[in-house]
């Protein structure tokens, strides 16, 4: 059975837009994988924004109640503002999730029909991410070296500070097992 022709979309004037230039399969595969990654990143960002919005709204309203007492009209305003923003973010998440499903289906089709192109794109992306990771590791190594130099200089200038830090760290570490043991006793009902 031949593949269905793409659905022709027309502008509000009833005129079809100009046909796009032919795009090679490699570019289509690359774009699908890149779009998927970007959508996943954006969904993570939107999820964080939604959580932050809820926290921010709750803290702002709690602060207002603490300072001015409970005002039902302000509660309605605060809730409505939060709901409006939350609904907008939820709609964006839903739209991206729907588009992600379409892209995932297209990627699966590419995997079946164009294994060579998919392999090339995946190898290129793996190489690029590996290079990024290598650069991050180099930067982390340089940061660790800088910290070591600074700690050594601090030790030369203010050895008492390091002794105080070591003592505080030791106290925290020795308190952790005691806290865990107390917590375990409480959970088992033992005293």
The rounded distance, in Å, linking the Cα atoms of 51 and 154 is 40
**pLDDT 10s digits, 107-130:** 999 999 999 999 999 999 999 999
Residue 110 · residue 28 · CB < 8 Å? yes
pLDDT score for 160: 83
C-alpha 82/C-alpha 91 separation (Å) is 14
Length of the chain: 191
pLDDT at 19: 47
What does the domain layout of the chain look like in residue ranges? 24-113
User: pLDDT, tens digit, for every residue of 134-168?
Assistant: 999 999 999 999 989 888 888 888 888 877 877 77
The rounded mean pLDDT for the chain is 84
Whether residue 8 is predicted with pLDDT greater than 70 in this model: the reply is no
Can you give the pLDDT at residue 11? 47
pLDDT for position 167:
74
Q: Is the pLDDT of residue 79 over 70?
A: yes
* Integer Cα distance of 151 and 127 in angstroms: 36
Asked if 70 and 120 touch (Cβ cutoff 8 Å), the reply is: no
**CB contact burial 163-189 (16+ within 10 A = b; e otherwise):** eeeeeeeeeeeeeeeeeeeeeeeeeee
Distance CA 100, CA 36 (A): 6
pLDDT of residue 1: 47
Average pLDDT over residues 102-111: 96
Which of 70-84, 127-141, 174-188 is predicted with the least confidence, judged by mean pLDDT?
A: 174-188
**pLDDT class for 171, splitting at 50, 70, 90?**
confident
Distance of CA 91 to the CA centre of its chain: 18
The pLDDT score that the predictor gives to residue 59 is 94
pTM here is 0.60
Say which range, 16-20, 37-41, 104-108, 157-161, has the weakest mean pLDDT: 16-20
Q: How confident is the model over 42-53, as pLDDT tens digits?
A: 999 999 999 999
Q: What is the CA radius of gyration of the chain?
A: 28
């Amino acid at each position: 059975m031949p593949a269905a022709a793409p659905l022709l979309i027309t502008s509000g004037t009833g005129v079809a837009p100009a046909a796009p230039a032919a795009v090679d399969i490699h570019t289509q595969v690359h774009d699908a994988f890149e779009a998927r990654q970007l959508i996943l990143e954006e969904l993570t960002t939107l999820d964080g924004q939604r959580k932050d919005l809820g926290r921010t709204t709750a803290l702002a309203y709690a602060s207002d109640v603490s300072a001015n007492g409970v005002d039902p009209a302000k509660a309605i305003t605060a809730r409505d503002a939060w709901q409006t923003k939350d609904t907008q973010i939820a709609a964006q998440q839903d739209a991206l999730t729907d588009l992600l499903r379409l892209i995932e289906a297209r990627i699966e089709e590419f995997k079946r029909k164009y294994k060579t192109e998919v392999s090339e794109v995946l190898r290129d992306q793996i190489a690029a991410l590996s290079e990024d990771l290598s650069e991050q590791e180099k930067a982390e190594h340089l940061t660790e070296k800088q910290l070591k130099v600074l700690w050594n200089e601090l030790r030369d200038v203010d050895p008492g500070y390091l002794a105080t830090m070591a003592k505080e760290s030791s106290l925290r570490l020795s308190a952790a097992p005691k806290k865990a043991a107390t917590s375990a006793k409480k959970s088992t009902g033992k005293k």
